Amino acid sequence: MIITSTPLRISFFGGGTDYPVWYRQYGGSVLSTAINKCCYITCRALPPFFEYHSRISYSKVENVNKNETIQHPSVRACLQYLEIEDGVEIHHVADLPARTGLGTSSAFTVGLLLGLHALKNQMRDKRTLAAEAIHVEQELLREAVGSQDQVSAAYGGFNRINFHPDGSVEVNRIITPPERLEELERHLALYFTGFSRTASEIAQEQLRVTPHKKQELETMLQLVDEAEAILADSGRSLDEFGRLLHEGWQLKRSLTQKITTANIDEIYQAGLSAGALGGKLLGAGGGGFMLFYVPPERRAALRERLKNLLCVPFSFSNRGSHIVVYEPEEVYDRLLAYERSVVYADHS
């Protein structure tokens, strides 16, 4: 049995990183951190004594006779990519809901690939693991997603991630005293808006308008530089970081009308009126989690103002996707799988 733990992430600033067409031509950067909220995947070779060939359990349960008939796209694609035809049992649970802007979909793919490699007694370094997850989502599944979520999930930590036109990815850990990151944590509040959506649907619209938004994306890239400079200089007030978040959100929401909604705008304005200096909707847009930068002395006022929303406590995490349990099980003769199919066919 293999169990993997893969962190979700918060993205603060990014320029062009959501759009492969853009960063493959101009490059892109993102400032993001892994958090202590994770998705967990259990996988094992399924003993050949069940009526079905493979069992996949997530928000629904699939019992299938062939791996290629699995409905979950990421599971089916990962098994195809690793050429796994034997029966498997895969279970997925998470600390937070999917489709909420925290990179849950890519964290799932990264964690599943890590677990399946371990099932084959193979190891993968962080760079290779991220690259394989990007390949599965962008090339095999043809999803309209960028690459930052996969990299954040594989590496963990608080990083600046640079995407170069030649296809290379550079991950640089933010260099700043631990107490400064702890101070930043105390200024951040995460609220679930209650509106979930599929990132790829919104990303399709963003891909359509991207060629007309070069100036905005270049400005968003400059915000990554400025935010990194603020964190690196202990002499600067972190409130500058909060105000920069506000500037970045105004830019992002201008990219397409699908990024925000009237309800999201109302929540954001309520946060500002309660004392937040800035914030943003996480992920592609349309719903999910709203992040606020709020002075600690105004945190209670913000909580009262948004009492109809769920406030989710979190902290930064340095752990990337990793193996929690590695306990290889008995390997059965492949002929048993055939015998099983014959026995159950006779009993049907």
Question: 127 versus 219: which is more confidently predicted?
Answer: 127
Q: What is the mean pLDDT of residues 136-163?
A: 92
Q: Provide the whole-model pTM.
A: 0.90
State the Cα–Cα distance between residues 23 and 206, nearest whole angstrom.
14
pLDDT at residue 145 greater than cutoff 70: yes
Q: What is the pLDDT of residue 262?
A: 85
Query: pLDDT digits over 67-120, tens only?
Result: 999 999 999 999 999 999 999 999 999 999 887 788 899 999 999 999 999 999
pLDDT at residue 334 greater than cutoff 80: no
Q: What is the mean pLDDT of residues 310-317?
A: 95
Is residue 324 classed as helix, strand or coil in its secondary structure?
Answer: strand
Q: What is the pLDDT of residue 331?
A: 73
- Hey, which bits of the chain come out as E strands? 2-15, 28-45, 54-57, 61-64, 88-94, 158-163, 169-173, 188-192, 278-281, 289-293, 310-311, 316-317, 322-326
Q: What is the pLDDT of residue 146?
A: 81
State the Cα–Cα distance between residues 291 and 298, nearest whole angstrom.
15
Residue in the structure block whose two tokens are 């062939």? 66
- Tell me 58's DSSP state: S
User: Is the CB of residue 55 less than 8 Å from the CB of residue 89?
Assistant: yes
